[in-house]
Amino acid sequence: MKQIVVVGAGPAGMMAAIKAAENGAEVTILEKMKKPGRKMMITGKGRCNITNAADVPEIIRNIHGNGRFLNSSMRAFDNQDVIYFFEGLGVPTKVERGNRVFPVSDKAQDVVDAMVERLHELGVAIETDTAVKDILTQEGKAAGVRTKTGAIYKADAVILCVGGASYPGTGSTGDGYEMAKALGHFIAAVRPSLVPLVAEDEWVKDVQGLSLRNVRGTLRVDGEKVAEMFGEMMFTHYGVTGPIILSMSRTASEYLAEQDRFVELSINLKPALSEEKLDARIQRDFEKYQRKQLGNALVDLLPHKLIGPVLDSAFLAPDKPVHQITVEERHRLVEALQDLTLVITGTRPLAEAIVTVGGVSVKEINPKTMESKLVPGLYFAGEVVDVDGYTGGYNLQAAFSMGAAAGNWCVWND
């Protein structure tokens, strides 16, 4: 019976342990936190977006950080396999907008509990409050791990699933990078993804808490469009967040890491209307409110908090009478409504990111088995690997697919 040590009890680690145990291995999970699945508990705003119901090529396209690396592992254990897996554990699922798959109960706790119960059924030992310091090798092969207290766990294979460096309160503190690096692995530069953006403009503080739906955000770097998303966003005291912002944040962080790059976010508040139709709409409102001041004539068109920033962007005075607005001024208003611009100066800290970009280089991992190409018997799965995707269930699917591959192959490989 093979002895397998899994380091980390997140989604990838628990899946790896389950698959290894199902294949007859004796498995021990070492988890530094007091309970397994801490980060899973906060995914999907506590509802746990376990996967996405799109086809596999579409999922891979939405894993923009080395998605093609997952071709083999995801086809071996795809999104339908994930759904069947959880439904087999008594966790029925449902599909929501954007093909997001959630448990019917809307409780991440149910997902974690089901995996933990399955681990117990299989006789997997889960040792919490146990932080691993380093991976041990013998004759160039993984032979076990040493904990920070000095305890040694011998193993025929080690699966490293300790997460990235985001949300350190859940146990993802980046220590996996150091363990992998100590064995000769290259660690791709780590930075935040799925993270709010920081804006230079002071007016965002005045509109904090305001949510916008059905808007188009465009990210520009040095005047060139580099990303675009349609959907929801929200203003905060430091800048912007929400689904479309988080999805573009990986691109933003990439350019912000370079020197002397000018990054802007353009918000089209009325993307469904052409310039001509929007101008006609404004003229109708002006006719309706022709005796009012400009600031009071936009109440049907904009949330109250945004009227000031939009007028400032158009260089228009809010107290100017509507009947005195010129055609040129009206055109400036149209432009401001469809190109409200913020200067982006940074992202929120890595600790606040949902996902970490970077990690153990995929060039040094067998994409079919998740085994290290440098250290036989050492496997990787989850966010410690340089793989990351958009929000929408893609990152958990990647973790489950990698975990399943590692858990299976660490037993099958001689």
Residue scoring higher pLDDT (354 or 398): 398
Count each helix (H run) and each strand (E run) in the chain, helices first. Answer: 11, 19
Average pLDDT over residues 187-201: 95
Pairwise CA distance, residues 368 & 365, whole Å = 9
- Kindly state the percentage of the chain with pLDDT values over 90: 93
Q: What is the pLDDT of residues 239-290, one digit of tens each?
A: 999 999 999 999 999 999 998 999 999 999 999 999 999 999 999 999 999 9
Q: What is the pLDDT of residue 383?
A: 95
Report whether pLDDT(311) > 80: yes
∠ CA 60-61-66 to the nearest 5 degrees?
65
SS3 173: coil
Count the Cβ atoms, other than its own, within 10 Å of residue 411. Answer: 20
∠ CA 198-200-203 to the nearest 5 degrees?
105
Report whether pLDDT(168) > 90: no
DSSP per-residue letters across 194-217: S--EEE--GGGGGGTT-EEEEEEE
Average pLDDT over residues 169-195: 91
Q: What is the pLDDT of residues 138-148, one digit of tens each?
A: 999 999 999 99
Q: What is the pLDDT of residue 185?
A: 98
Report whether pLDDT(414) > 80: no
Report whether pLDDT(313) > 90: yes
Pairwise CA distance, residues 16 & 378, whole Å = 13
Q: What is the pLDDT of residue 337?
A: 98
Report whether pLDDT(69) > 90: yes
> Which two structure tokens, joined as six digits, stand for 158?
């080690």
SS3 295: helix
Q: What is the pLDDT of residues 39-66, one digit of tens each?
A: 899 888 899 999 999 999 999 999 999 9
Of 197, 238, 203, 191, the residue nearest 221 (C-alpha): 197
Backbone angles phi, psi at 8, to 5 degrees: 110, 125
Q: What is the pLDDT of residue 374?
A: 98
SS3 119: helix
SS3 158: strand
H/E element, 304: helix 304-313
Q: What is the pLDDT of residue 52?
A: 98
Rounded alpha-carbon distances, angstroms, from residue 407 to 127, 177, 330, 393:
18, 20, 63, 21
Average pLDDT over residues 197-206: 97
Backbone angles phi, psi at 233, to 5 degrees: -155, 170
Report whether pLDDT(171) > 80: no
Rounded alpha-carbon distances, angstroms, from residue 114 to 30, 40, 85:
19, 12, 10
**CA dihedral over 44, 49, 50, 54, signed as positive or negative:** negative
Report whether pLDDT(300) > 90: yes
SS3 276: helix
Quick check: 333 and 310 in contact, CB under 8 A? Answer: yes
Mean of all residue pLDDT scores within the chain: 96
Q: What is the pLDDT of residue 95?
A: 98
Q: What is the pLDDT of residue 43?
A: 87
